[in-house]
């Protein structure tokens, strides 16, 4: 059965200039790992999340286990010496009489045909996520506490859910759960997810965190434009500054301020 997969790393405040890249890279690597393992039903679709204290990804239509595969393991040519043929049979764990003869495009060869049982998602996911973490473009890593694990910032929580099920994996020394923390000041207590699809909406409602970098950036831009319109003013375009501010906040609010006139006298 295919369902949404959710992975979240809950961290201390991440470097703002690298935040969006880290989120996109982690999400893409995890999705590619699942695709390579043939665990995605249909086209690969995923949503990346990145906020100051979390990197996360939702991957659509992830299967609970791989399909069984028919494997044809090809060996020596039928004209090979008996020792080579028997050695191939032993490596396959069968007798020579169990081997088949197939054509490999050039010649007839001995082959061992068998059905390989598909592995479960829970058995493969830990390696996929750990590999994705190791591939992140992090120029400098750090250790924290007594742990020997390294990352760009200390990691304190791990969410791994497939639909409503918590998948038991370990990443950076952390065991997976179905709960996280929200905004450092606006939220109180843990947020527990009933299913993977609830992540973004529940985090925004209960945790006061807009997890999507793009949605946070758009929220800031929209609020700036609305405030400027009320003041009959315009906002100076500065994409780099907007990206930086987006990476510094989890629940943006635009405020209007002014300097007293005597402070402007130079």
pLDDT of 49 > 90? The answer is yes
Judge if 32 and 44 occupy the same domain. yes
pLDDT of 115 > 80? The answer is yes
Judge if 107 and 124 occupy the same domain. no
Cα 60–Cα 66–Cα 70 angle in degrees, nearest 5: 140
Judge if 20 and 53 occupy the same domain. yes
At 150-194, the pLDDT tens digits run 999 999 999 999 999 999 999 999 999 999 999 999 999 999 999
Judge if 106 and 131 occupy the same domain. no
pLDDT number for residue 237 = 83
Judge if 126 and 248 occupy the same domain. no
pLDDT number for residue 261 = 87
pLDDT of 266 > 90? The answer is no
Judge if 99 and 183 occupy the same domain. no
Judge if 179 and 256 occupy the same domain. no
Judge if 51 and 77 occupy the same domain. no
pLDDT number for residue 64 = 97
Tally Cβ neighbours within 10 Å of residue 209. 28
- The pLDDT > 70 percentage for the chain reads 100
The residue segments making up the domain with residue 240 are 214-263
pLDDT number for residue 9 = 99
Higher local confidence (pLDDT), 247 or 114: 247
- Tell me the C-alpha distance between 122 and 21, whole Å: 27
Judge if 56 and 134 occupy the same domain. yes
Judge if 131 and 218 occupy the same domain. no
Can you say whether residue 234 is alpha, beta or left, with left for phi > 0 and alpha for psi between -120 and 50 degrees?
beta
At 61-100, the pLDDT tens digits run 999 999 998 989 999 999 999 999 999 999 999 998 899 8
Map tokens 């510094």 to a residue: 248
User: In the structure, what pLDDT confidence band is assigned to residue 258 with cuts at 50, 70 and 90?
Assistant: confident
Q: What is the mean pLDDT of residues 113-126?
A: 95
User: In the structure, what pLDDT confidence band is assigned to residue 259 with cuts at 50, 70 and 90?
Assistant: confident
Report how many domains make up the chain: 3
Give backbone dihedrals phi and psi of 208, rounded to 5 degrees, phi first.
55, 45
């Amino acid at each position: 059965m295919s369902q949404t997969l959710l992975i979240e790393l809950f961290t201390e405040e991440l470097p703002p200039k690298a935040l969006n890249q880290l989120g996109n890279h982690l999400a893409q690597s995890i999705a590619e790992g699942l695709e390579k393992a043939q665990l995605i039903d249909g086209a690969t679709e995923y949503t990346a999340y990145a906020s100051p204290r979390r990197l996360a990804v939702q991957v659509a239509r992830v299967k609970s286990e791989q399909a069984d595969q028919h494997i044809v393991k090809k060996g020596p040519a039928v004209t090979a010496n008996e020792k080579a043929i028997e050695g191939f049979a032993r490596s396959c764990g069968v007798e020579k009489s169990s081997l088949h003869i197939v054509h490999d495009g050039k010649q007839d060869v001995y082959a061992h045909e068998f059905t390989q049982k598909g592995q479960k998602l829970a058995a493969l996911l830990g390696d996929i996520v750990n590999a994705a973490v190791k591939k992140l473009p992090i120029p400098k890593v750090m250790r924290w506490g007594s742990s020997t694990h390294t990352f760009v910032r200390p990691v304190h929580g791990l969410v791994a859910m497939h639909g409503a099920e918590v998948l038991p994996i370990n990443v950076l020394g952390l065991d997976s759960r179905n709960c996280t923390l929200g905004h450092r000041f606006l939220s109180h207590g843990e947020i527990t997810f009933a299913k993977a699809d609830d992540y973004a909406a529940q985090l925004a409602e209960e945790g006061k965190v807009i997890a999507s970098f793009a949605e946070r950036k758009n929220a800031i831009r929209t609020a700036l434009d609305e405030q400027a319109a009320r003041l009959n003013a315009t906002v100076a375009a500065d994409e780099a500054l907007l990206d930086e501010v987006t990476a510094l906040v989890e629940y943006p609010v635009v405020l209007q301020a002014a300097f007293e006139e005597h402070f402007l006298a130079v």
